[in-house]
Amino acid sequence: MKKVLIPTKLNAVARETLKNHGGYEVVQDDDAEIGELVSQHSDAHALFVRSEKVTPEIIDALPSLKVVIRAGAGYNTINTKYARSKGIDVMNTPGANANAVAEEVVALMLADARHVIASDASTRAGKWEKKNFMGREITGKAVGIVGFGAIGQLVAKRLCGFDVNVLAYDPFLSAERAKDLGAELADLEEIFSVCDYVSLHMPENEETRGIINKSLLCRMRNGATLINCARAGIVNEDDLRELKADKGLRYLNDVYAKDAAGEKSITDVADIMLPHLGASTVEANFNAARRSATQLIDYDDKGIASFVVNRDIPEGLDRAYSELAFMLAHLCRSMAGTHKKMKLIETSFYGNLKPYSNWLLVQIVAALSDEFDRTQGYDAALAYLKEMGVEYFNRETDLSKGFENSMTVDVTTSVDAANFRRISVRGTVTEGNMMISRINDFDKLYFEPVGAVALFIYKDRPGVIGLIGNTLAEAGVNIDDMRNPHDPSGETSLALIRISEKIDCELVDRISSKIDALHASCVNF
């Protein structure tokens, strides 16, 4: 029998499910320290954890360990890289706590709107301050949901009984799918300008860190409410602090830079603070526990590894091609506009890459959506695309074209209700270096996607490159490499420029205006 260690307070359904299977011995002890339990059961096959830290020392103490399962979504407490180096798969149970978080959002909205916390304390103190606790109704209000994945969609569903108008922001979501889910797609600026409530449900990464800043907060209606049950780092606390009083904003918070006792930097700004209770429900614990057990059984009995989050590169595939797929999709997203709504993804894999098309799709989806983790599997990628209403088509490749070991990524986005835009990029790996070989109709580029790259498309005429170079020089930015081809018609040119540092939108717009660009963007590889 395979031994499973559960050194955490996890619903008994996990233990019962595994025991009923008949192939597992389960040791569960939420009183003992994880290190102590591990030392007593070094023959464990699987380890279930919640917030416990799985360090290299813990992993080394379990020589028979094959899989670690995080009963929940986040797995930052597990050293996934070290686990991979030891041949250990790490899995999570995404979505198990989605409803719990969604209901918490509604609870925060109602508690704040009706002064539940303050009026309870006042009444318990023997006071009768009805005049001080005049509340507001949620019914009929405009609610913006930033990040319309599993949690965001459930927030909209739970609020439908209040007859609210739901506006959703998610670059990966199609307008048709949003409508099916009872929401209207909108950009961030519109959501922050018109909504009475804005609820945040996006991951924290390089692109989203501090994204809720002064430029958005200053658009909020006086008296509007911001709710953060996502990640602390996506909100610029200083900007919120500066604007909150003048605009009479309300801030309801459940997330912090560190989940631990002690002073919190947001204390003076938050109107309600909870100790990261989003997933803390009996039902969420039950769901995560049951999912952990069934995933382990499927993993052992059927080889299903859809929720492994530390996958290694498949045998036979050069890691550079995995990075290339990510980079090509990242470039497509930058050129299409990060706020544009995704409609269709098309791929072509040539030569020896064809057998790895499923793996490479995962990297492409992860580059196009902040919500999708590139460590997930092909089935998860397909399910995510279906959920978001985005079509995917992997084309049969024509060997006669001679594109050996190259790949093409095409992304179609909606410009408006009637118009669409398609970006097509091809790339390959040469002598171990990733190369972009084509962007739309601009071919034979052989440009390495590294560092900061500025991209301008314009009507061909003399002097344009000089204008671009002079404007960059005035800003103290150096040109490190450049390609400047024409399209087949000879009427349009591309300036693909690697620069010494990433430039801001203001400088991109200034150059674009000077050269009357058809397209202008800057992407950081």
- What is the chain's mean pLDDT, rounded? 92
pLDDT above 90: residue 16: yes
Percent of the chain with pLDDT over 90: 74
* Architecture of the domain made up of 450-525: 2-Layer Sandwich (3.30)
Mean pLDDT, range 295-318, rounded to an integer = 87
- What pLDDT, on the 0 to 100 scale, is given for residue 416? 67
Other CB atoms within a 10 A radius of the CB of residue 93 amount to 24
Q: Phi and psi of 455, rounded to 5°?
A: -135, 125
pLDDT digits (tens, 9 = 90+) for 349-365: 998 899 999 999 999 99
pLDDT above 80: residue 457: yes
Mean pLDDT, range 469-486, rounded to an integer = 94
- What pLDDT, on the 0 to 100 scale, is given for residue 304? 84
pLDDT digits (tens, 9 = 90+) for 115-131: 999 999 999 999 999 99
pLDDT above 70: residue 95: yes
Residue that has been written with the tokens 């039950």 in this structure: 286
pLDDT above 80: residue 398: no
- What pLDDT, on the 0 to 100 scale, is given for residue 414? 80
- What pLDDT, on the 0 to 100 scale, is given for residue 197? 98
Which of helix, strand or coil describes residue 158? helix
- What pLDDT, on the 0 to 100 scale, is given for residue 498? 94
Which of helix, strand or coil describes residue 226? strand
pLDDT above 90: residue 311: no
The amino acid sitting at 450 is V
- What pLDDT, on the 0 to 100 scale, is given for residue 401? 66
- What pLDDT, on the 0 to 100 scale, is given for residue 314? 82
How many CA atoms within 13 Å lie on the side-chain side of 54? 30
Band the pLDDT of 313: cuts 50, 70, 90: confident
CA dihedral 231, 232, 236, 237 (to 10 degrees): 150
Residue of 53, 90, 63 whose CA lies nearest to 373: 90
pLDDT above 80: residue 419: no
d(CA 118, CA 315) in angstroms, rounded, equals: 59
pLDDT above 80: residue 418: no
Cα distances (Å, whole numbers) of residue 262 to 259, 266, 268, 406 = 9, 12, 14, 53
For residue 356, give the DSSP letter.
G
CATH topology of domain 313-449: 60s Ribosomal Protein L30; Chain: A; (3.30.1330)
* Fold matches, 313-449 and 450-525: no
pLDDT digits (tens, 9 = 90+) for 51-78: 899 999 999 999 999 999 999 887 888 9
Q: Is residue 288 packed enough to be buried (19+ CB in 10 Å), middle (13-18) or exposed (0-12)?
A: buried
- CA quadruple 256, 258, 264, 265: dihedral sign: negative
347 - beta bridge partners? Answer: 394, 409
Mean pLDDT, range 492-514, rounded to an integer = 93
Whole-model pTM?
A: 0.79
Q: Are 342 and 388 in contact (CB under 8 A)?
A: yes
- What pLDDT, on the 0 to 100 scale, is given for residue 203? 85
pLDDT digits (tens, 9 = 90+) for 29-48: 988 889 999 999 999 999 99
d(CA 360, CA 43) in angstroms, rounded, equals: 35
Mean pLDDT, range 443-461, rounded to an integer = 93
Q: 172 or 228: which carries more pLDDT confidence?
A: 228
- What pLDDT, on the 0 to 100 scale, is given for residue 340? 76
- What pLDDT, on the 0 to 100 scale, is given for residue 373? 79
Q: 369 or 108: which carries more pLDDT confidence?
A: 108
pLDDT above 90: residue 337: no
Residue that has been written with the tokens 């506009």 in this structure: 337
Pick the range with the lowest mean pLDDT from 398-407, 418-427, 502-511. 398-407
Q: What is the CA radius of gyration of the chain?
A: 26
CATH topology of domain 2-96+282-302: Rossmann fold (3.40.50)
Other CB atoms within a 10 A radius of the CB of residue 176 amount to 13
- What pLDDT, on the 0 to 100 scale, is given for residue 110? 98
Class in CATH terms, 98-273:
alpha beta
User: What does the domain layout of the chain look like in residue ranges?
Assistant: 2-96+282-302, 98-273, 313-449, 450-525
Q: Are 454 and 522 in contact (CB under 8 A)?
A: yes
In the sheet with 225-228, reading across from the earlier edge strand, the strands are 184-185, 165-169, 142-146, 197-200, 225-228, 250-253, 272-273
Mean pLDDT, range 160-166, rounded to an integer = 95
With a CB cutoff of 8 Å and minimum separation 6, the contacts of 123 are: none
pLDDT above 90: residue 310: no
